[in-house]
Amino acid sequence: MKRNPVFLRLSAAGLAVFMLICAVSGCSGASAGQSGSASFFAMDTIMEMTAYGEGGQDALDQVEHLIFTLEDLFSATDQNSEVYAANQGLKVALSDYTADILDQSLALCALTNGALDITVRPIMDAWGFTTSDYRVPDSTEIDALLPFVDYSLVTPSPDGTLTLPAGVQIDMGAVAKGYASDLAAQLLAENGINSAILSLGGNVMAVGAKPDGSNWRVGIKDPSGNTDYIGVVEVNNKAVVTSGGYERYFTGDDGQVYWHIIDPSTGYPAKTGLSSVTIIGDSGILCDALSTALFVMGADDALDFWRDNGGFEAIFIAEDGEIIITSGLKDVFTPSDTSATVTVASYDR
Amino acid sequence: MTGRAKWVAAALAAVLVLSAAAMLIIKYAGSDGTVAEVYKNGDLVYSVDLSTVTESYTFTVGDDQDGWNTISVEPGRIRVSDASCHNHNCIETGWIGSGIKPIVCLPNKLVIKISGDADSGVDAISG
C-alpha cells in the first residue's frame, strides 16, 4: 500500500482525539473496571462496600466472610454465640476475636469513665430496645437493674475464659461494627487494596484515598431527617462513626420520645441536648465507642474529654440545630446549608 | 490538501463527532439516577426506570415465611406501602425518587435504592 502522509497525519490526529474523548467520557478506567463491591445484611444492619484495584472483589468476599464470623461470636441473640453463652452465666473459653474486642472495649469503658458501658444490656432489655417491644420501665425496675450495669464486673480470666457474675450481661452493640471495620481495613491492606470505602450500617471506614488520589467525601446524616446529610467531611484513611437518637426510638404513652442511647449511670435515655455525635479517627472501635460515650456526656463534657485525650475529631449536632466541630475539622468540614452556624471548638477551654 | 484528503478529513471529522456524541449519550443517559433497584436478601429481584413509568402500580416481594413488602411505583418515585415487619421503618421512609437515601427494611432484608446517581456528592453517609 502506498503511504499517504496526509492520511497518516489525519489518522494520528483522529486517534488522539478519540483517546481524549475516551478519557473524558470515562470509557476505559482501569481501576474502576477492577473494583469490587459487596452489599449484605449482618450485625442487624446493612453493610455496603466498594474496593478499588486488582483483587478488590476477592478481598471484599474475605471481608464479608470475616464479618459473619465476628457476628457468630458477638451476637447477643444467637444462642450459639460466645456472648450469648456468657450472658447465661456459663464459663466461656473465649476465641481470640472475642477476647480482643472485650479487651479493647473494657479499656474504652474505663477511658470514658463508664459513659460507654458494655454491661448496659439489662437496662436496654427493660426499655424493649433489644426486642423492639418498647415500654417505659418504672424507676424501681431501673434501680433494681443498675447494680448490674458496671463494666468493672467483667473480668476475663488469664486462662482465656470469661464467667460473668449472675445478672450481668454484656452487649457488643456499641463497638462491634467499629471493631469489624478495623479488621476489615486490615484484611484489605493485607490483600494489597489501598482504596476502599466501607459502610457498616453507617459506620464508615475510608481506606486510603479515592482511586484518583483525592479525599473521600463522607456525608454526616441529618438527624432531623429533612435532608440526606447535614454536611460533608473530607477524609482519607479514617473511620467516621455517628451515633444519634434518631437511629432507634419510640414515643411513650406520655408523648415523650425515648431513644436507645442510654446513660449507664441513670438507666434513662441520654438527653444532653445533642441529636448526634460523629467521631473521626484512625480506629473504628475507638470512633464507635466514643460516638456513644460522648453523646452520653453532652457537648461540654465531651469537648473537655477531647481536650484531655485528643487523638480524634468530633462533630456535634445539637437538638436546636447548632453544629459544633473540633478544631482539626476546620478545613475539611463543609455544612450543606452554607448559612448554618458552625462553632469551632479549640483546645483552649 | 488533495481532493481525496479533504474527503477523508471530512469523513473522519464526521465519525469523531458521531462517536463523541454516542459516548456521551452512553455515559449520561443510563446514569440519570432514576433506575430503582429492589434487593431481597442481597439479590437484585426487580428494577425499573422510574422516568419511564406512566401508570402507578404495586407489587409484593417476599412471603409470609421470609417477610413481605408491598411496593408502590408511581411516575418518578417508589416506596414501601405495606409490610409484614414489626417496626415499619421502611414504610415511614416514604417515597424516594433520587438522591442517596435508600429504603431499608432490616427485618425483611429488603433494600430499594436508586442506582447510577453519579451526582449525590458524597461517597458514603455516616449515621
* Interface mutation target, options B17, B43, B103, B126, chain A, most CBs of A under 10 Å: B126
* CB spacing of A219 vs B39 below 8 angstroms: no
With a cut of 70, say whether residue A142 has pLDDT above it: yes
d(CA A136, CA A130): 13
Which chain B residue has its CA at the smallest distance from A196's CA? B123
A-B CB pairs within 8 A amount to 110
Do A51 and A188 meet the contact criterion of CB atoms below 8 Å apart? yes
Which residues on adjacent β-strands are paired with residue B35?
B49, B115
pLDDT tens for A35-76 read 899 999 999 999 999 999 999 999 999 999 999 999 999 999
pLDDT of residue A132: 85
With a cut of 80, say whether residue A346 has pLDDT above it: yes
Q: What is the mean pLDDT of chain B?
A: 84
d(CA A53, CA A217): 19
Q: Where are the alpha helices (DSSP H) in chain A?
A: 5-25, 30-33, 56-74, 82-87, 96-111, 121-127, 139-145, 176-190, 284-297, 299-309
With a cut of 60, say whether residue A94 has pLDDT above it: yes
Do B48 and B75 meet the contact criterion of CB atoms below 8 Å apart? no
Contacts of A18 in chain B (CB under 8 A): 16, 19
B86-119: b (≥16 Cβ within 10 Å) or e: eeebbbebeebbbbbbbbbbbbbbbbbbbeebee
* CB spacing of A276 vs B5 below 8 angstroms: no
Residue type, A139: S
With a cut of 80, say whether residue B104 has pLDDT above it: yes
Q: How confident is the model at residue A33 (pLDDT cuts 50, 70, 90)?
A: low
Q: Which helix (H) or strand (E) holds B10?
A: helix B3-29
**Which cell is A192 given?**
494489597
d(CA A245, CA A253): 18
Look up residue A106 and give its DSSP letter.
Answer: H
pLDDT tens for B85-102 read 988 889 988 898 876 778
Residues A271, A272, A274, A276, Cα dihedral to 10°:
-70
Backbone CA torsion sign across B12, B18, B22, B24: positive
CA A307: distance to chain centroid?
22
pLDDT tens for A166-204 read 999 999 999 999 999 999 999 999 999 999 999 999 999
Averaged over A309-315, what is the pLDDT? 97
With a cut of 70, say whether residue B61 has pLDDT above it: yes
Q: What is the mean pLDDT of chain A?
A: 92
Q: How many CB atoms lie within 10 A of CB A136?
A: 16
Q: How many CB atoms lie within 10 A of CB B42?
A: 14
User: Which residues, including other chains, have CB under 8 Å from residue A228's CB and lie 6 or more apart?
Assistant: A219, A221, A222, B99, B100, B101, B120, B125
pLDDT of residue B4: 79
Residue of B23, B109, B124 with shortest CB distance to A27: B23
d(CA B19, CA B23): 6
* CB spacing of B127 vs A210 below 8 angstroms: no
pLDDT tens for A203-237 read 999 999 999 999 999 999 999 988 889 999 999 99
pLDDT tens for B105-119 read 989 999 998 876 555
Pairing of strands A36-42, A238-244: unpaired
Q: How confident is the model at residue B31 (pLDDT cuts 50, 70, 90)?
A: very low
Q: What part of A 9-48 touches B (C-beta under 8 Å)?
A: 10-11, 14, 17-18, 21-22, 25-27, 39-41, 44-46, 48
Contacts of B5 in chain A (CB under 8 A): 4, 6-7, 10
Do A66 and A191 meet the contact criterion of CB atoms below 8 Å apart? no
* CB spacing of A228 vs B42 below 8 angstroms: no
Residues A36, A37, A43, A46, Cα dihedral to 10°:
170
pLDDT of residue A336: 94
Residue of B24, B123, B126 with shortest CB distance to A278: B126
**Which cell is B88 given?**
415499619
pLDDT of residue B72: 96
pLDDT of residue A32: 47
Residue type, A333: F
Averaged over B53-76, what is the pLDDT? 94
Q: To which residue does cell 455544612 refer? A: A335
Contacts of B21 in chain A (CB under 8 A): none
Q: Which residues of B touch A (CB under 8 A)?
A: 1-2, 5, 8-9, 12, 15-16, 19-20, 23-24, 26-27, 39, 41-42, 86-87, 99-101, 104, 106, 109, 111, 120-127
User: Which residues, including other chains, have CB under 8 Å from residue A101's CB and lie 6 or more apart?
Assistant: A74, A172, A175, A176, A179, A285
What percent of chain A is predicted at pLDDT more than 90?
Answer: 84
Per the model's pLDDT, the better-predicted residue between A4 and A321 turns out to be A321
**Which cell is A346 given?**
479549640
User: Which residues, including other chains, have CB under 8 Å from residue A4's CB and lie 6 or more apart?
Assistant: B5
* CB spacing of B9 vs A132 below 8 angstroms: no
